[in-house]
Amino acid sequence: MPGTISAELPALLPRLRRYALALCQSSALADDLVQGACERALAQPHMWTPGTRLDAWLFRIMRNIWIDGLRRARLEVEVQASQLGPDGACDGEREALGRIECSEVAAKIQDLPWEQREVLLLVCVDDMSYREVADVLGVPIGTVMSRLARARKRLLEACEGGTGERARG
């Protein structure tokens, strides 16, 4: 069904990019992530089951690519750290990839733990059902509900000027 994927893919690009921006927090990285997910989907159309949600399949591909990238980056940091001199000095190559200019609420969303943030964005921004999010993330629906409840609670506390003490989880 490559024709079906290539026909439906352009309409999904804005949603894919929005999710990629939430993951990467960098416009350039988000574009690369969307491109990688589209390339993988078009190269392996047999992996998609016709009759299922194409958007959920693409979100999962993108999430997997992102997680793979995080793992590679973690390994690179460990290698770089092992190459530091005895005084711990580095050559200044560690710079931030970019800044995001966003509203106060968006900044607080970014402060949420990863698992809570991705569930919040998929449910509230991409308007996916709990079941769809559970399928995309490969977790039970109860886990989605729990993460979403904790994300909403933390966000509310942050917006109301909570005490600053946050329970991790």
pLDDT confidence of 162, banded at 50, 70, 90? low
Residue 117 reports pLDDT greater than 60: yes
Q: What is the DSSP string of 71-94?
A: HHHHHHHHHHHHTS-TT----S--
More confident residue, 68 or 61: 61
Interatomic CA distance for residues 112 and 66, integer angstroms? 18
CATH 1.10.1740.10 fits 1-85, yes or no: yes
Q: In the predicted model, what is the mean pLDDT of residues 151-168?
A: 68
Interatomic CA distance for residues 34 and 147, integer angstroms? 25
Q: Could you report the per-residue pLDDT of 14-58, keeping only the tens digit for each?
A: 999 988 888 888 888 889 899 999 999 999 888 888 888 898 899
Return the domain boundaries, the chain: 1-85, 100-162
Question: Is-same-fold flag (1-85; 100-162)?
Answer: no
27 neighbors 99 (Cβ within 8 angstroms): no
Helix or strand holding residue 60 (H, E): helix 54-82
CATH architecture of the domain formed by 100-162:
Orthogonal Bundle (1.10)
Q: What is the pLDDT of residue 80?
A: 53
Q: What is the pLDDT of residue 76?
A: 57
Give the closest residue to 130 by CA, choosing from 104, 148, 152: 148
Q: What is the pLDDT of residue 13?
A: 93
Residue 103 reports pLDDT greater than 60: no
130 neighbors 144 (Cβ within 8 angstroms): yes
Q: What is the pLDDT of residue 38?
A: 92
